[in-house]
Amino acid sequence: MTVLLPAVVSVGLIILIGFIAGRTLSLDKQTLSQLSLYILVPALIADSLYRTTLSTESTTGLVAGLIITAVLLYLLSWGLGKLLKLPAVVQKSFMVAAIFPNAGNLGLPLNSFAFGTPGLERAIVYMITAALLMFAICPALLKGGSISSGVRLTLKLPLLWAMLAGLTWRLLRLKLPLGLDKGIHQLGMAAIPIDLIVLGIQLSRTRLVIGRYEVLATSLRLLVAPLIAHTVGQALGLEGLNLQVLVLQSAMPVAISTVVLVTEFGGDAPVVARTVVLSTLVSFLSLPLVLWATT
């Protein structure tokens, strides 16, 4: 625990700086979010895939583990929503909050601090898969539209194209001229602190109200999800760092992007925002325990 605690403290410090900045400075959170979504994170993805030493077996195992875990969480949250007779709008929001973790803003830096570059490589594979699932499925889940509409939304985002670019550079062993790869690498390294600052700003501007919905969604996200992921990972034969990253990423709080998606496509945005805040705050107690249990 004493070895892993600095990973959580380092992440918490940057989030705290973002929280203070959100309370004292007139920062435009949306601009910072767009900077990260459209420039910094795609650069991080492309650069990491270009440099990765991750095997096909590890990649396949992580992707399969995430998808199976997401399906099981969907079924569980759907069943609980029916059992508790939640209104349709609230049930959709509940399902989205339970399924999708903050694998980017919080997951990438925590895995990087805890497990170094090998952990970051695996965490990026998880994040890309989660992002593709989120933007492909959430619009249809919330709005009631087709999966194809979600796929079209995904194709408009640079995440997929950054992934393809990074893989192409690696497979073809291309060498970018004039040190452009160094420039992309530097952009990518800026993604982690900017994402944490954005998370801190979000926390500073969201009013915390704790109710039955928020507690239940937070419990599913922080406690049940990593247990399911651990069981799924073992069933798939994952071990070592692959299993650790799968479980740790699955233990992340509710993804901030869910608030944007619920606002855009339907659902109870204030309730989801409160769940993001509560799950993020509680995660600073739960994540060290998950780190300890998986190492």
CA distances from 22 to 29, 137, 198, 280 (A): 8, 31, 9, 16
Q: Amino acid identity, residue 129?
A: T
The HSE-up count of residue 149 (CA atoms within 13 Å, CB side) is: 10
Instruction: Check: pTM over 0.85? Answer yes or no.
Output: no
The HSE-up count of residue 70 (CA atoms within 13 Å, CB side) is: 23
Rounded to 5°, the CA angle 246-251-254 comes to 120
Whichever domain contains 113, its CATH number is 1.20.1530.20
Q: Rounded to an integer, what distance in angstroms lies between the CA atom of residue 201 and that of residue 16?
A: 9
Q: Rounded to an integer, what distance in angstroms lies between the CA atom of residue 245 and that of residue 248?
A: 5
Q: What is the pLDDT of residues 180-202, one digit of tens each?
A: 888 888 998 888 788 788 878 87
Which stretches of the chain drop beneath a pLDDT of 70?
A: 1-8, 136, 139-140, 143-151, 153-154, 260-261, 263-266
Rounded to 5°, the CA angle 252-121-225 comes to 25
Q: Amino acid identity, residue 230?
A: H
Residue 254: phi and psi, rounded to 5, are: -60, 135
Contact between 280 and 208 (Cβ < 8 Å): no
CA distances from 113 to 6, 215, 291 (A): 8, 28, 12
Q: Amino acid identity, residue 95?
A: M
Provide the pLDDT for residue 220: 94
Domain hosting 212: range is 3-293
Provide the pLDDT for residue 233: 95
Query: Which are the contacts of 268, defined by CB distance < 8 A and separation ≥ 6?
Result: 89, 90, 93, 262
Which string of b and e fits 134-157 if b means at least 16 CB within 10 Å?
bbbbbbbbbbeeeeeebbebbeeb
Q: Rounded to an integer, what distance in angstroms lies between the CA atom of residue 244 and that of residue 256?
A: 23
Q: Rounded to an integer, what distance in angstroms lies between the CA atom of residue 265 and that of residue 204?
A: 25
The HSE-up count of residue 103 (CA atoms within 13 Å, CB side) is: 29
Provide the pLDDT for residue 232: 96
Largest CA distance in the chain: 60
DSSP annotation of 178 reads G
CA distances from 108 to 83, 101, 197, 251 (A): 35, 11, 14, 13
Secondary structure element (H or E) that encloses residue 155, with its range = helix 147-156
Structure tokens at 211: 């109710």
Number of domains forming the structure of the chain? 1
Q: Rounded to an integer, what distance in angstroms lies between the CA atom of residue 223 and that of residue 283?
A: 10
Provide the pLDDT for residue 23: 92
Q: Rounded to an integer, what distance in angstroms lies between the CA atom of residue 190 and that of residue 32?
A: 12
